[in-house]
Amino acid sequence: MTAQNENRTMFYGKGDVFVYRTFVQPLTGLRKIPESSFTERDNTIFGFNCQISLKGEAFLSSFTEGDNSLVVATDSMKNIIHRQAANYQGNTAEGFLKFICEVFLDKYSHIDAVELTATEVPFDHVLVPKGEGHENSDVVYRCSRNERATTTIEVKRTPTGSKIVKHSSGIVDVHLIKVKGSSFYGFIQDEYTTLPEAQDRPLFIYLDFDWEYSRWEDGTGADPEKYVAAEQICDIANTAFHELNNRSIQQLIYHIGIRILERFPQLANVQFKTNNRTWETVVETIPNSEGSVYQEPRPPYGFQGFVVTQEDVKQKKAADSTVGASR
C-alpha cells in the first residue's frame, strides 16, 4: 500500500436502508436510575434507517478504472442488511450493527472496514380502553415524531481479527422548552450589543447527544446492567433542565453531561450539539396572568458544542470537595 493510498478517503455505500423487524426479544435488566422510570424496551418494533459504507484498498480500481469486479453493489448491501436482520440474536441497535458489520467482513475478504449508522424509527404505544381506564395496546403503535436514538460503529479487519475502531450511541432532535427558570445576562455589553439581558426567558433548545462507552462491549446489551438506554439519557436531561435555574445553554449542557457520567461511569464521554430556539416575546404582560405571548424565533440561530468527559467529573468532585472543606 502506498503512503498516498493509505490515507485516501474512499468509501461507497447505501443510505436510507429502512429495516423493520417485529417481536425482537425485549431488553430488560437495565440498571434503574432515580431520574427515569424507564426499565425495559419491549422491542415489539425494532426499526431503523441505516447507512452503510464499505472501505478498502481493493475498491481503488473501481474508481480509477471502472473495474467493477470487486464491487459489492449497493443494492446487494441493502439486501444483506434486510435478510441478515432476521438472524440477529440480540436486542440492541448497537449489537445489531456490530453483527451486520461482521457479516460483511466475513463474506467479502477484500473489504477492509465497514461503517454503519442506524437511526431509530420510533413508535409509541397507543392507549386503548381497559375496564374503567386505559392500557397500552400491544398491537397498534403510532409512529412518533419525537427524538430518535442513533448508533454508529466502524469495524475494521486486522491481522488478528476484526476490531471496533469507532463506536458511539446517541439521540437526535430532542426539543425541550422550559417556560420559566432560565436567564441569560452578564454577557459583553458594547457597541454591537442589542440583545436585552433576560432574568427569565422561555428557553427552547434542540439537543443532539452522543455518548461513548469506555469498553464498547458494554454498549451491546450483552450485560444489560452496563447498557445505557437513550430513554434514560433523555430522562436525565429532562431532570437536569427541570431542576437547574440555568444561566445559559452552555451551563445547562455541562450539568447534563456531568449528571449522565456520574450515573453511568461505564461511559467515557458525552458530546453535545445544541441550538437555541428561544421564542421571541410579542406580548410580555397579560393582565391577571403569569403568561406572555411568543412567536417563533427569527433566523439566524445560536448553537453550542461541548464534550464532557469522566475527567470533568473528577475535577468537579475535587472542586466541590475543596469548596465544602473551606466552608
**Sequence ranges of the binding site for urate:** 74-75, 184, 201, 250, 276
Q: Which of 49, 77, 55 is nearest to 152 (CA)?
A: 49
Q: Which residues contact 169 (CB under 8 A, 6 or more apart)?
A: 93, 94, 149, 150, 151, 210, 211, 212, 213, 219, 228, 230
Nearer to ligand URC, 82 or 273 (CB): 273
How far, in Å, CA of 130 to CA of 116, rounded?
Answer: 42
How far, in Å, CA of 36 to CA of 228, rounded?
Answer: 12
Is residue 130 annotated as part of the catalytic site, yes or no?
Answer: no
Q: Work out the angle at residue 255's Cα, subtended by the Cα atoms of residues 250 and 259, and round it to the nearest 5 degrees.
A: 150
Neighbours of 172 (CB within 10 A): 17
Scan for cell 427558570, then name that residue.
181
Nearer to ligand URC, 63 or 301 (CB): 301
- Phi and psi at residue 59, in whole multiples of 5°? -85, -5
Neighbours of 142 (CB within 10 A): 12
**Binding-site residue set:** 74-75, 184, 201, 250, 276
Nearer to ligand URC, 124 or 280 (CB): 280
Smallest separation (angstroms) from ligand URC to the CB of 178: 12
Interface residues with ligand URC (CB under 6 A) are 184, 195, 248-250, 276, 302
Smallest separation (angstroms) from ligand URC to the CB of 172: 20
Residues pairing with 175 in the sheet: 206
Segments in the chain forming alpha helices (H): 3-6, 60-64, 74-85, 93-107, 230-243, 249-263, 310-325
Smallest separation (angstroms) from ligand URC to the CB of 208: 16
Out of 39, 44, 74, 281, which one is annotated catalytic? 74
**Binding-site residue set for O2:** 74, 276
Please spell the DSSP secondary structure of 95-162, one letter per residue: HHHHHHHHHHHHH-TT--EEEEEEEE--EEEEEEEETTEEEEEEEEEEE--S-EEEEEEEEEEETTEE
Smallest separation (angstroms) from ligand URC to the CB of 146: 23
**Binding-site residue set for 5-hydroxyisourate:** 74-75, 184, 201, 250, 276
Is residue 150 annotated as part of the catalytic site, yes or no?
Answer: no
Smallest separation (angstroms) from ligand URC to the CB of 139: 44
How far is CA 128 from its chain centroid? 31
Q: Determine the residue type at 58.
A: A
Smallest separation (angstroms) from ligand URC to the CB of 182: 8
Out of 14, 98, 156, 226, which one is annotated catalytic? 14
Nearer to ligand URC, 125 or 255 (CB): 255
Nearer to ligand URC, 77 or 249 (CB): 249
Nearer to ligand URC, 31 or 255 (CB): 255
Would you please indicate which residues are annotated as catalytic (active-site) residues?
A: 14, 74
